[in-house]
Structure 1
Amino acid sequence: MNVRRLIPATAVAGAVALGITALSACSGPDTAGGSDGTLDVVASFYPMQYLAEEIGGAHVSVTTLTKPGVEPHDLELSPRQIGSLTDADYILYLKGIQPAVDDAITQSGAKNTMDAATLTTMETHGTEVDGHDHASDAGGHGDSDEETAGRDPHVWLDPVKYAEVARGVGTSLEKADPDNAADYRANTDALVKKLDALNKEYETGLKSTATSTFLTTHSAFGYLAERYGLTQEGIAGVDPETEPSPARIKNLQHIAERDGATTVFFETLASDKTAKTLAKDTGLRTDVLDPLEGITEKSKGHDYIKVMESNLAALQKALGAK
């Protein structure tokens, strides 16, 4: 596990103080809301940013703590970023995926926060090898909180669960900014319709396949696999930084042969070395299955919906959809 993720509370507290000082030096006396009267929203990473922008529309000014191209699990916050949490009108995050963010929000004392993990049912997904649960290696991505330890945070990759989260975010924005509640409600309904349509695309596109098993470097697709009757076999655990054991690699070779898997998937924000090595050893293809933790120029689409449609096409090809 990457030790950079474990940030002592005392260090975070110090960074909060520094961040607040830095911000106060360059901010006017009125820091509530954007300069144009919009709600100042801080999103932890892309899936939260997308919800805030789609639901908030013209009434919000959204900034994200995780810049494009940065692997969100490894995020390290600057003092200025931590300080921005104190001044934000609304913070949207997903507890359990970014320990640095979780700690900073707790230390900031920000009142108007929404943890997306509370808006749907969180589950545990993993692969047990040699009596060892790979999900527990990365449970909560280093978060020791009993409520999040062992849970798979990748709920946004299931359009149905993501729609549940969207409705909760919409309701919370209505409460945070009641003057624009009607618009938030309308925007939420529009987004949920898009997600419902995406769910139907997946249901239809994956209804009949030659195999239901897919291999991936990052076990981020447990919710998606469960939703559409597939089997995810991860090289690593829920955390993309977890190194697979030789026993796991050998087991995956057996699974691929047994289940007729054709493809080893890798992602855009992490190394593809292990996937390509496994594919070479087993005679399988490689392709991208994007966990949508960030949008970059390498992404196969400019937003959540487009990348999810690209993921569907990749799964259909890999699974032999009919």
Structure 2
Amino acid sequence: MKRNIIFLFLICFMIVFSSCSQKPEKISKSIVVYTSLYPLAEFTKWIIPEAQVESVMPQGVDPHNFEPSLKDIQKLYRANMIVYLGNTDIDRWIDKIKDELTQKGVKVVRLQDSIQFKKYSSGNEIDPHIWLDPILTAEIIKVIKNAATEITPEKKDLYEKNFSIYETKLKELDNSYRQGLSNCSLKDVIITHEFLNYLSSRYGFTSYFIVHEPEQEPSLKRIKKLKDLMKQSSIEYIVSEPEGERIAKALSEETAAKILTFNTLHRADTQHRLDYFQIMNENLKTLKTALKCH
């Protein structure tokens, strides 16, 4: 309740602020784009390399717990284009101001309006992790390409060319996953939180999560259920995103299972500076190990 009150205050302030100010000046030499999180910024740069692209979410912040500041909201009103997921726990706050942004001349790209999202295993909450699916990522960059073309139609050929290049690379990545996960001894994988729904559905395996969201505590009932599954299916690994190591250890200590790292791309890889394709290929290696693929 407190979080909603604070956010509504910020929205009201911005509406008054924007109504009393001039329409923000757009930079003519390049498109200014803000995205709700890192992977969407990466994808936007593929299509519009000359754009000034920035993720609103600061580096190192868990996107599930991000709360925008007044400064973050103000940024959006100065953009040419905004790219975000939609009604998810990561960036649904943009839904509350999208009409106001549109009225101010900002091109608002809400991916959920163009792409079919899945729901989490329980409840009606939308699973945001579509960027981990190469086929859905191709759909994302198509939406971005079309939006960019509306803003600068004179660059349509460039955007089409860039889209074609990355669509081909994404198809190659999809093929690598299909081949790499086609001959595996296991069909089940244990993960820390629920982030593999899209990949497991695409490539024919089942993921079992310890907790639904990273900040939750694993229940004894859940730990016992997963221990039984691991023993029954000879599962020797737990797949964990970097921020989920504490959760993974809770089960690892009970089963002696080894922990494998999976990069969910919630954040930029500032340590190794790997790009999307390098990260996704590393993730494929992790899944092949966990599923005992040949």
Please give the TM-score of this superposition, normalised by the length of structure 2: 0.89
Q: Provide the residue aligned with 1:314 in structure 2.
A: 286
Residue 243 of structure 1 and its aligned partner are, at CA, apart by 3.0
Q: Provide the residue aligned with 1:169 in structure 2.
A: 144
Q: Provide the residue aligned with 1:276 in structure 2.
A: 249
Aligned partner (choices 62, 67, 74) of residue 83 of structure 1: 74
* Contact 1:94/1:115 (<8 A) preserved: yes
Aligned partner (choices 184, 192, 198) of residue 223 of structure 1: 198
Counterpart of 1:168 in 2: which secondary structure? helix
Deviations 1:113-163 (A, max 9, x none): 00122222112232xxxxxx3xx2xxxxxxxxxxxx422121111111111
Q: Provide the residue aligned with 1:93 in structure 2.
A: 84
Alignment partner of 1:190 is 2:177: no
1:33 is aligned with what amino acid? I
* Contact 1:124/1:152 (<8 A) preserved: yes
Residue 178 of structure 1 and its aligned partner are, at CA, apart by 0.7
Taking the TM superposition and a 5 Å limit, the aligned residue runs for 1:13-52 are 13-16=11-14, 31-33=25-27, 37-52=29-44
Deviates more, 1:101-110 or 1:179-188: 101-110
Residue 19 of structure 1 and its aligned partner are, at CA, apart by 7.5
* Cα-Cα RMSD: 2.4
Residue 296 of structure 1 and its aligned partner are, at CA, apart by 3.0
Aligned partner (choices 65, 69, 79) of residue 74 of structure 1: 65
Residue 298 of structure 1 and its aligned partner are, at CA, apart by 4.4
Q: Provide the residue aligned with 1:119 in structure 2.
A: 114
Q: Provide the residue aligned with 1:11 in structure 2.
A: 9
* Contact 2:191/2:210 (<8 A) preserved: yes
* Contact 2:239/2:262 (<8 A) preserved: yes
Unaligned runs of 5+ in 2: none
Counterpart of 2:195 in 1: which secondary structure? coil
Cα distance between partner residues in 1 of 2:232 and 2:210? 16
Deviations 1:265-285 (A, max 9, x none): 2212x2411201201101110
Please give the TM-score of this superposition, normalised by the length of structure 1: 0.82
Q: Provide the residue aligned with 2:227 in structure 1.
A: 253
Residue 318 of structure 1 and its aligned partner are, at CA, apart by 1.5
2:37 is aligned with what amino acid? F
Q: Provide the residue aligned with 1:304 in structure 2.
A: 276
Q: Provide the residue aligned with 2:49 in structure 1.
A: 57
Residue 29 of structure 1 and its aligned partner are, at CA, apart by 8.5
Residue 101 of structure 1 and its aligned partner are, at CA, apart by 3.7
Cα distance between partner residues in 2 of 1:33 and 1:205? 45
Residue 87 of structure 1 and its aligned partner are, at CA, apart by 1.7
Deviations 1:172-193 (A, max 9, x none): 2111211111111111111111
Cα distance between partner residues in 1 of 2:183 and 2:84? 36
Deviates more, 1:218-227 or 1:250-259: 250-259
Counterpart of 2:260 in 1: which secondary structure? strand
1:252 is aligned with what amino acid? L
